[in-house]
Structure 1
Amino acid sequence: MALTSALGRPAPHGVADEDLERMLLIRHFERALLRLFEEGLVNGTTHTCLGQEYIPVAVSALLGEQDFVFSNHRGHGHFLARYGDAHGLLAEIMGREGALCNGVGGSQHIYHRRFLSTGVQGESLPVAVGVALRLKRLGQGALACAYIGDGTWGEGSVYEALNMAQLWRLPLLVVVENNGIAQSTPTATQMAGTIAGRAAAFGVIHHHVATTDIDVIRGDLAPLITCVREESRPVVVEFATHRAGPHSKGDDTRSPGEIALARAGDWYDRYAAGHPERFARIDAEQGELVARIADEVAARPPSSWDRR
């Protein structure tokens, strides 16, 4: 599936301040991480969701406290959209006091309340199916939401999970962030057919999202998520999106043209053009907030972990 630029599409008609705040919190958090790596204040690796922040912000408002969320290696936005705890997440990544998982999970392996992330592609979907089975038996209308990428469809566990979810009629929401590239491999060169076709092979409902407009996305997804809850059946929602940043830190193997196309499809400029004064104010506020958080967390002592 070819991803096309969103440049030239009309600006979003309306967006709530809280949605802008959350999207821009994620944007500045990811930028701060890249800066901290450049300054040698963070070790290891990290995968930012620059360009994709609107997806978890749109989805999270439709989830309830009892729902489970399963994330992946590019999961900071998923966590911040759900809980907004930038202090705890950054402390986890930097290994500082107050870390979500005492600093042992790092960027990719977070466990917090009903949120779990992993850096292993395809690992979370079978686990999400197991949780969805438990939620169905509890009969409280909760669901399991799993975020995966287009590259994850190369893992056999995805198909085993979809098969079980459909056979057992489980409340599973699969959110696919299709940014057209799996690390450094264009999706078109490694995936035969389409994600829609693969979902159809199991009789699973598939919905394609090509807009970055938060209100439009929620309006389309609300009845589908109600279907997941009330009819207890899996749904695959595929977002045609763009990765505006590198795969991990500075390792961007795309051509200049591909990078320009991705950046042209970024939601950031469209929202800035559609709501210039309000956007500029909230953008500045969130940038300053993240800068303060980064300074405060960096000054904390290292986290400790008692394994007894």
Structure 2
Amino acid sequence: MSDALFAGLAPELPDNARLYSAMLLVRRTEERLLALFNRGLVSGTTHACIGQEANAVGIIGLLDPGRDHVISNHRCHGHYLAFGGSLAGLLGEVLGLDGGVCGGRGGSQHLRAGGFLSNGIQGGGAPVACGLALGARLAGREGGVTALCLGDGTLGQGVLYEALNMAALWDLPVLFLVEDNGYAQTTPTADAVAGSMVARGAAFGIRTAEIDSTDVLALRDFGREVVGAVRGSGRPLFAVVHTHRLCAHSKGDDTRPPEAVAALCAHDPLTVHGARLARAEREAAEAWAGARIDAALAAVAPGLVEGGP
């Protein structure tokens, strides 16, 4: 996992505490961004991945920023941080400031840093992922993985199937990672996606994998399996992670019944994994995450630091 994600965290901490701290940093960063949005300080919109942090830390965190690529979507903050992106650069970008990773011009959905790119257009990153994987091969850079992060709603976009066809025909090392959180904005997946999700990848002769979990340890094992398979074979893999979004699709537009959302909190990855830690370890993680966010925000917008969300 990228050292940048754990800046300032004691290196001797056990893995469980480090994984919890990483997920907590993603959670508290997005809570801070949502609070800033409510104050009218965010440039444009913002989409949080609250409830899905274990996917980012457990799977994307296994990728190597030195040789791999991540192509994300509108719900990209967790992927970006898990891949080692600058926290100050993220905060500055969402706030539309010069100190942002793209100079404040891309906003929450369009980040570009090293091997990380995100695109707010559903399916817009699919051909880009294939192009990057092909380009690396033509340049003689073997062994790299290009991870394409998708939502279940993207399964309705034709360009995705064109990309799957291309990746299969040309044996491209692309990890198609579908995060199925049960809703495409406000449309339940059951009302929009027919048949089996994993069968869509299998139809192209692509190896598939599937997991239903918010446990970061299970997702890390799953991530090792799928990332290792793509890296070792140089061929594509279509992986589906069934997960839960605990926040609104974008800011306050949550049409789900409150009791349904409340029931999902039992699957909160911070609760699931946090139960393995001592109270002192959780408190230390909170202090570390809060200090990192304050320091990053102070670097790009010192007047906004308030010591909390």
Partner of 1:77: 78
Counterpart CA distance in 2 for 1:186 and 1:55 is 20
Offset at residue 17 of structure 1 (A): 3.0
Offset at residue 300 of structure 1 (A): 7.1
> Normalized against structure 1, the TM-score is what?
0.88
Offset at residue 89 of structure 1 (A): 0.7
Offset at residue 292 of structure 1 (A): 4.3
User: How big is each residue's C-alpha offset from its partner over 1:16-49, in whole Å with a ceiling of 9 and x where there is no partner?
Assistant: 3332222111100000011101112223210000
| 1:251 maps to 2:225 | no
Partner of 1:286: 289
Does the 8 Å contact 1:32/1:294 carry over to 2? no
- Farther off after superposition, 235-244 or 255-264: 255-264
Does the 8 Å contact 1:32/1:291 carry over to 2? no
Map residues 185-224 of structure 1 onto 2, 5 A cutoff.
Answer: 185-224=187-226
Offset at residue 226 of structure 1 (A): 2.4
Counterpart CA distance in 2 for 1:150 and 1:263 is 20
Map residues 3-152 of structure 1 onto 2, 5 A cutoff.
Answer: 15-64=15-64, 65-137=66-138, 138-152=140-154
Does the 8 Å contact 1:135/1:141 carry over to 2? no
Counterpart CA distance in 2 for 1:207 and 1:141 is 20
Give the 3 Å change call, closer, same or farther, for CA 214–270 of structure 1 in structure 2.
Answer: closer
Q: Determine helix, strand or coil for the equivalent of 1:271.
A: helix
Does the 8 Å contact 1:125/1:157 carry over to 2? yes
Offset at residue 147 of structure 1 (A): 0.4
Greater RCO, 1 or 2 (C-alpha within 8 Å, sep 6+) = 1
Task: Pick one of 174, 178, 181 that aligns with 2:176.
Answer: 174
What is the number of residues matched between the two proteins?
A: 288
* Partner AA of 1:214 in structure 2: V
| 1:226 maps to 2:228 | yes
Does the 8 Å contact 1:271/1:279 carry over to 2? no
Offset at residue 63 of structure 1 (A): 1.2
State percent identity of aligned pairs: 43
Does the 8 Å contact 1:15/1:214 carry over to 2? no
Counterpart CA distance in 2 for 1:269 and 1:142 is 34
Give unmatched runs, 5+ long, in structure 2. 1-13, 305-309
Give the 3 Å change call, closer, same or farther, for CA 232–296 of structure 1 in structure 2.
Answer: closer
Offset at residue 200 of structure 1 (A): 1.4
Counterpart CA distance in 2 for 1:261 and 1:136 is 46
Counterpart CA distance in 1 for 2:296 and 2:226 is 37
- Farther off after superposition, 232-241 or 69-78: 232-241
User: How big is each residue's C-alpha offset from its partner over 1:144-195, in whole Å with a ceiling of 9 and x where there is no partner?
Assistant: 1110000000000111110111111110001111100000000000111121
Counterpart CA distance in 2 for 1:242 and 1:21 is 20
- Farther off after superposition, 245-254 or 78-87: 78-87
* Partner AA of 2:260 in structure 1: E
Alpha-carbon RMSD: 1.9
Q: Determine helix, strand or coil for the equivalent of 1:131.
A: helix
Offset at residue 60 of structure 1 (A): 2.8
- Farther off after superposition, 211-220 or 150-159: 211-220
* Partner AA of 2:29 in structure 1: F
Counterpart CA distance in 2 for 1:99 and 1:84 is 11
Does the 8 Å contact 2:71/2:129 carry over to 1? yes
Counterpart CA distance in 1 for 2:217 and 2:257 is 33
Give unmatched runs, 5+ long, in structure 1. 1-13, 302-308
Offset at residue 298 of structure 1 (A): 2.5
Counterpart CA distance in 1 for 2:199 and 2:236 is 15
Partner of 2:267: 265
Q: Determine helix, strand or coil for the equivalent of 1:61.
A: helix
Offset at residue 139 of structure 1 (A): 4.2
Q: Determine helix, strand or coil for the equivalent of 1:109.
A: coil
Q: Determine helix, strand or coil for the equivalent of 1:173.
A: strand
Q: Stretches of 4+ moved more than 4 A in 1?
A: none
